[in-house]
Amino acid sequence: MAWSWFHIIILLPFLFAIVVPFLYKVFSPRIHTGWFVLIVPVFLFIYLLRYIPVVSTGETILLTAPWIPSVGINFTAYIDGLSLIFALLISGVGALVVVYSIYYMSKHREALHNFYVYILLFMGAMLGVVFSDNIFVFYVFWELTSISSFLLIAYWYERQRSRYGAQKSMLITIFGGLSMLAGFVMLSMMADTYSIREMISQKEIIDGHTLFLPAMILLLLGAFTKSAQFPFSIWLPDAMEAPTPISAYLHSATMVKAGIYLVARFTPVFGGSAEWFWMISSVGIITMLYGSITAVRQIDLKALLAYSTISQLGLIMTLLGLGSAAIYYGNGEESAFYAVAILAAIFHLINHSTFKGSLFMVVGIIDHETGTRNIRRLGGLLTVMPISFTVALIGSFSMAGLPPFNGFLSKEMFFTGVVNSTSLDIFGMDNIGALFPVIAWVASVFTFIYSMILIFKTFTGKHYPERLEKEAHEAPTGMLIPPVILASLVIILFFFPNILSDYVLQPALMAILPAFVETGGIDIHIEPWHGWTTELYMTIGVVVIGTLLYLTLRKWQGIYRFFSPEGRLNILYDQGIVKMEEFSLGLTRRYMNGSVRSYLVYIFTFMILVVGGSLLLSGGLTFDFTNDAPISFYEYGIVIGIILSGVLVVTAKSRLTAIIALGAVGYLVSILFVIFRAPDLALTQLVVETATVALFLLCFYHLPEFKKRGKGVGFKLSNLLVSLGVGVLVTTLALSADANRLFEPISSFFEKSYELAGAKNIVNAILVDFRGFDTMMEIVVLMIASLGVFTLIKLRLARKDGEE
């Protein structure tokens, strides 16, 4: 095991992020920082292309680098068809987004060093997610995507809506991430490994385990929250407060696809079970319908695209759920029949990144050049922004599933997947399986409607310049290049879809359905024309009904007044946050009352209950006094003297008496050290005690005398019980520990201090040699505290001098 160049490649965005602030400081505003950052995704994309011929043969690459090998956690990079598709999207779309950002983000008004550092952090985190084979390394990168996306969404942090959207996205996705972590822990317990590959090989063991269902649910919570599945989808529209390049990158091509990747990667582990099938397919189809219906009512272009993204993610999730039935049948013809859904999911994943990325960029251009995204204020931009219109037309029609665009091909495959699922005679599909094509068709109708709204409400009709904040004009060439490239891919992939088949789709399909590796995969051949099939009739119905509903939109759009699920979900979220804050504040005020006594009672009571309870329940309290030395009468006398001195410290009515009694405790303890033949320790104790008493006397000399209280301190039973409990617990713990030695004591090692360190004083050897760094750090802490006290005193004296 050793670090390879590929590990460095994954970490390259993190490493370059360190350099970005320096480049910004030196070259800004003369040179846009994005030109330097562009090198990273371009290099990554070109470098990753060399792995396409390797994975296309069915070969996988495993590279392991040590991280925490003592507990089996290593940075294992796993390269196969599935991870490579996502990595190419991350780097390829990332490069286009950086080019777009160079012209979108002002180099004079924006803190570009922060912007590009956040983008690079996110890029590296996503690469880590898709290439990690170790579940705990996977989790680390997973949470880094949530943190970096939080920073990106809150980039314009002076805006309240940006802060709100960032907080909402982080709370929901972090909740899902923690749930996923719990699922990972359960998986590691079931399979006795941290490797995803090895978990796949132990599918039979995992299937029969009692933790199978809980682990599945927890893992899916992580996937559903990250990929904005219903009802966790409420964070995605609010995340549109981020700059448009971020929306194009995070919310169309990469971050929201992380949940898709998680489901696809673990389909070989959980696939073939009814629970996995129904959870994913039902949540996916509901999300698709919810997103498409809600998108139609939006008047903000980015909000419309946000809900369309939710709908499209639901579509992909549905296909992954339905296609998981192929694992139930193994690798025969029947399995291949249902595996079409998985193939459609992968293909639409790529297509969605092309047409949705281009649409987000066009919406950003409209906002940048007109000053608004409000559909009611837009219109007639066709003659003003012809190139943007062309790109938007291609992207919208592809999203609607019309030819000759790649969305038509994957949408037809989607219809094939849901139609094929009706023939399933497992998991209860023979009863309600017909609902899937019906719901899919209805959702597709609304998809057609919002696609038409996007293109025609924005670019056709009458142009009203007075409604716009800026004089509309076409974007600069540099800002148009990235969406034009993506729109070109939309058309190219329609006419030449099979350039992806052997090199991209087939390896990814075999990664999700490993049973097909033995048979060499499935013969994939994508064609735009399959004859007069059920799927084609469904598409014709979508176009006809969708056109009629779009033309009559004003007549029936009023029903949305009675249909607002996203509003209710947001209200529940907001009220939940407020209630949690109120509960937390009330609870905090109850125990944070400003009383040191109360805090000590909480701490000691917790210690008694947890430590004492654990010892009692585990049977850890055992005593053995057979090897103990006899206690002499003078030792009893010294212990009694220590006790009496301690009581005097508490009951003394003057500070001088309390200090002397406290010093007596220390001196009596040093006598015990002498009796136990530890003169070096006794000497150290005497020196420390003398210095402490002297310092106390110097400090307390300047304090006023104790005030006479009119009423003495009353007896508190709770104080007595807590103090006795702590004393008894510590005493019994010490005695029990002495009687239950699991290892040889280390005292024999320290006794060799002269041979090991040349020291005749064991205590000094421990402090200076064996624990040298620890002692040095303690001295540093004391030095910092002393400097702080000195600074406070100086400030106070300076303030007094100023007042005088």
Tens digits of per-residue pLDDT, 171-206?
999 999 999 999 999 999 998 899 999 999 888 889
Confidence (pLDDT) at 414: 92
Q: Is the pLDDT of residue 105 over 90?
A: no
Residues 407-429: pLDDT tens digits?
999 999 999 989 988 888 888 78
Whether a cis peptide bond, with omega within 30° of 0, leads into 231 is yes
State mean pLDDT over 294-321.
92
State mean pLDDT over 39-67.
90
φ, ψ (nearest 5 deg) of residue 464: -120, 90
Quote the distance between the C-alpha of residue 436 and its chain's center: 32
Written as one string, the DSSP assignment of 268-324 is: HHHTTSHHHHHHHHHHHHHHHHHHHHHHHT--BHHHHHHHHHHHHHHHHHHHHHHHT
Residues 139-161: pLDDT tens digits?
999 999 999 999 999 888 888 88
Tokens of 672: 């015990």
State mean pLDDT over 728-756.
78
> Which percentage of the chain shows pLDDT scores above 90?
39
Confidence (pLDDT) at 804: 52
Which one-letter amino acid corresponds to residue 389?
A: F
Q: Is the pLDDT of residue 707 over 70?
A: no
Q: Is the pLDDT of residue 768 over 70?
A: yes
Confidence (pLDDT) at 266: 93
> Which percentage of the chain shows pLDDT scores above 70?
95
State mean pLDDT over 35-39.
93
Confidence (pLDDT) at 181: 95
Q: Is the pLDDT of residue 138 over 90?
A: yes
Give dist(CA 56, CA 793) in Å, integer: 71
Q: Residue 79 belongs to what H/E stretch?
A: strand 73-79
State mean pLDDT over 245-264.
86
Q: Is the pLDDT of residue 518 over 80?
A: no
Lowest pLDDT segment from 95-99, 367-371, 566-570, 631-635:
566-570
In terms of average pLDDT, the best of 379-388, 468-477, 479-488, 502-511 is 479-488
What's the DSSP call for residue 741? -
Q: Is the pLDDT of residue 29 over 90?
A: no
List Cβ neighbours of 174 (8 Å cut-off, separation of 6 or more): 143, 146
**What angle in degrees, to the nearest 10, is found between the helix axes of 112-131 and 135-153?**
160
Pick from 362, 451, 347, 363: which is nearest to 406 by CA?
A: 347
Confidence (pLDDT) at 430: 77
Q: Is the pLDDT of residue 618 over 80?
A: no
Q: Residue 64 belongs to what H/E stretch?
A: strand 61-68
State mean pLDDT over 235-261.
86
Give dist(CA 443, CA 447) in Å, integer: 6
State mean pLDDT over 363-383.
89
Pick from 310, 141, 290, 178: which is nearest to 235 by CA?
A: 310
Residue 710 — very low, low, confident or very high, per pLDDT cuts 50/70/90?
very low
Average pLDDT score, the chain: 86
Confidence (pLDDT) at 290: 92
State mean pLDDT over 429-456.
90
Do the Cβ atoms of 60 and 78 come closer than 8 Å? yes
What's the DSSP call for residue 162? H
Do the Cβ atoms of 257 and 349 come closer than 8 Å? yes
Give dist(CA 605, CA 312) in Å, integer: 54
State mean pLDDT over 55-72.
85
Residues 635-681: pLDDT tens digits?
888 888 988 888 888 788 777 888 888 889 889 989 888 888 778 77
Residues 523-552: pLDDT tens digits?
778 888 778 888 899 999 999 999 999 999
Give dist(CA 159, CA 565) in Å, integer: 26
List Cβ neighbours of 767 (8 Å cut-off, separation of 6 or more): 775
Residue 520 — very low, low, confident or very high, per pLDDT cuts 50/70/90?
low
Do the Cβ atoms of 174 and 143 come closer than 8 Å? yes
Lowest pLDDT segment from 224-228, 248-252, 485-489, 745-749:
745-749
Confidence (pLDDT) at 19: 93
Tokens of 197: 């590959």
Q: Is the pLDDT of residue 737 over 90?
A: no
Give dist(CA 553, CA 734) in Å, integer: 79
What's the DSSP call for residue 368? H
State mean pLDDT over 61-71.
86
Angle at 177 between CA 175 and CA 565, to 5 degrees: 50
User: pTM for this structure?
Assistant: 0.80
